[in-house]
Every structure is written in structure tokens, then in C-alpha cells.
Structure 1
Amino acid sequence: MRKHVLPAIGVAAATAGALALGLSLAPTAANAAPPKHGYHHRTITIEAVETGTAVNLVDVAPDDSALGDQLIGTADLTDSDGNELGTSSFVGISTDAEPRTSEMLTFVYELPDGKITTAGTAQLSDSGPVFDEKFAITGGTGEYKNASGEVRVLQESMEEAKVTFEIRR
């Protein structure tokens, strides 16, 4: 097993080599109909920008296949004005042999009020954005305990991604 250190680029593009996201805490309540039994959901929207600080590629055997290769990284989260909001960490596993076009990804976003975890797959593109995918929110801690919903990651370039959280709790 060989380990490669890649330059700091974004975290969402992890699937292509790195990922970058950012965050602007801008909660907004959704006007959804209340669920049955009197329990009311509240939706919070958070917009973010993430820029990568460290990404490693673990190239597993055989060398001529991408299947099982791993991308591991961490990045800084900021709002649209560049103010620090937290960090993100990810693990991506290539699910294609050749060429690398698909990744299974898990993210942990550490925010001032708690953590949010997400999971899903991303299809990589040679043209246009690196990828534009929605990932399931699988849980959270602190203010995000029992969270559900999704996060859209628009990886426009290797250096930056826009992330939009739609959190239901």
C-alpha cells in the first residue's frame, strides 16, 4: 500500500483529489406542514465555503486499478466573508476500477454548535463542476442532535466548493 501526500486543495473534490466547502450560518425556518401527532419539524439552512488544508491519497493494490483507493482529508470552514466557522473531515473510497469516476464519501462537519455527519456517493465529471451532489445527513451532536436532511456540495473547482445544509430537527 502506497501513501501519497497531495497539496492542500478542497475536501469535496476529495473524489477527484480534494474538497473545498464554506459556511455562512444563516438559519431560516421552513414553512412545511406540521407532521402528525403534534410534532413540529424545523428546517435550518446553512451556506458554507470550504477550502482544503490537507488531503492524502492511499493507493491500494493493484496499481492499475482505482477500486478501493482512499482519499482522506480535512479542511477549514468559513462563511462568505471569510470568518472561521469550524472544520470538516472526510474519507472517500473509489468505487470504480478505471477511470476514477465515482466515490463513496463520509463527511464530519464540526461547527460552533455541534457536529453534523453526512454520507453518500459522488459522480465525478471531466467537464463543468467536479461534482454537484446531495449527501444524506446521517446525524449530529449538540444543536444538531437528531438532525436529518441533506447537504448539497457544488465542487466547482479543485480549490473551492459551495455547501448548503438543509437540516431538519
Structure 2
Amino acid sequence: MRRINRLGLSAGTALATALCCAPLASAAAPATGSRPAGDKEQIIHLTAVVTQATSLGFPPPGPSQGDELIVAGNLLQNGTQVGTYDETCTTTRTDTDDTSTVQCVTTLTLPQGKITVQGVFPIADTGPGDISLAITGGTGLYRTARGYVQAMNTSSTETQVILHVIR
């Protein structure tokens, strides 16, 4: 179950998705490409810090289909806490080359609402590679949110998260 543990500490990562509020936004870009007129993409940089993590392993020993990782943590921007996240990751596939695939579902709780994120990515003995997940929706100010999240682990308990939020 060691691989999914590494993921969890990064999954707390994958999540930190989404905010379209001025105090949290680090950059905003005008609508481009095939987005409907009036839609705007905001790029938000956050740090996800794990505060709790529990892994559940199922037979056989080692990484196996159905293993789960449950993670909770804080979302920081410039060292200040701006929210929290909650995430569950399930191993969906194991391969003979010592890699596995996980499906993660995350909720980011921010002052003006919540953002939901989900997706699948591979994990090897060295940990997850680049993580890219979809923003699937939200509540409050984020009720029409969509876009994607990129994440990269910077330590065993911290992940840098870049949110590409479109509303």
C-alpha cells in the first residue's frame, strides 16, 4: 500500500482546486479559444498541506484493487490558510511493472463555496508523476466552475496546486 500512501500526500494536492474570488486569485486571464463569450479562466496557486491521512488495504498484501486512501488537509495561499480539502482515492488498477492507477475525488472548501475535483492517474514506486484532474463543479460562488487542476508534490506532506478555473 506504499504507493497509494505517496499518492495521498499528493492527492491532497490534486485537489486544491478552485476559486474565483478576488482575495484568493493570483491571476486572471480573458476568455480565449472555444470557451463561450463571457467565460473567464482564473489561475490560482495554492499549497495543499496534509493534516490527516488514513490508508485502507485489502488482500492480497501490497497494492491491490480497492485499496483506499482518505486524506484531509488545509489549503494555503502565501502561507495563510484560505480553506480545507477532503479527498478519497481508490486503487482501480495494478500492473505487473510495479505501478498502479488511482481514482481520486476531492472537495475543496473555500470561504465562498466548494469546488469538486476528480480524476485518474498512475503511481509508481517513485510516487505519482504530474497530476492533472478535472474540476467537476461546485457550490456557492463556484456553482458553475469547470476547468482543471495540476499538482506536484514538494514534500511528503505538501503539494503545490495550480487551479485553472473557468466560470
TM-score normalised by the shorter chain: which range applies?
Answer: 0.7 to 0.9
Q: Deviations over 1:65-104 (max 9, x none)?
A: 5111000110011112x21111001010112335353211
C-alpha displacement at 1:149, in angstroms?
0.3
**Cα RMSD after superposing both structures:** 2.9
- The 1-side partners of 2:61 and 2:124 are apart by 22
Per the alignment, residue 18 of structure 1 pairs with 9
Cα 1:14–1:132 shift into 2, 3 Å: farther
- The 1-side partners of 2:124 and 2:61 are apart by 22
TM-score (normalised: structure 1): 0.78
- The structure showing larger relative contact order (alpha-carbon pairs under 8 Å, at least 6 residues apart) is 2
What is the identity, as a one-letter code, of the residue corresponding to 1:90?
A: E
Unaligned runs of 5+ in 2: 18-22
Per the alignment, residue 118 of structure 1 pairs with 117
TM-score (normalised: structure 2): 0.79
C-alpha displacement at 1:158, in angstroms?
1.7
Q: 8 Å contact 1:71–1:92 — kept in the other structure?
A: yes
Q: Deviations over 1:10-68 (max 9, x none)?
A: xxx755342344789225332334868x7410112111001101111111233355111
Per the alignment, residue 43 of structure 1 pairs with 41
Q: 8 Å contact 1:15–1:122 — kept in the other structure?
A: no
Q: 8 Å contact 2:8–2:89 — kept in the other structure?
A: no
Range 151-160 or range 56-65, more displaced: 56-65
Per the alignment, residue 9 of structure 1 pairs with none
Per the alignment, residue 72 of structure 2 pairs with 74
What is the identity, as a one-letter code, of the residue corresponding to 2:120?
A: T
Among 80, 84, 87, the residue aligned to 2:81: 84
Q: Secondary structure at the match of 2:27?
A: coil
Moved over 6 A (4+): none
- The 1-side partners of 2:8 and 2:41 are apart by 32
Among 34, 52, 55, the residue aligned to 1:54: 52
Unaligned runs of 5+ in 1: 7-12
For these two proteins, the number of residue pairs brought into alignment is 156
Q: 8 Å contact 1:15–1:92 — kept in the other structure?
A: no
State the identity %. 27
Q: Does 2:85 match 1:94?
A: no
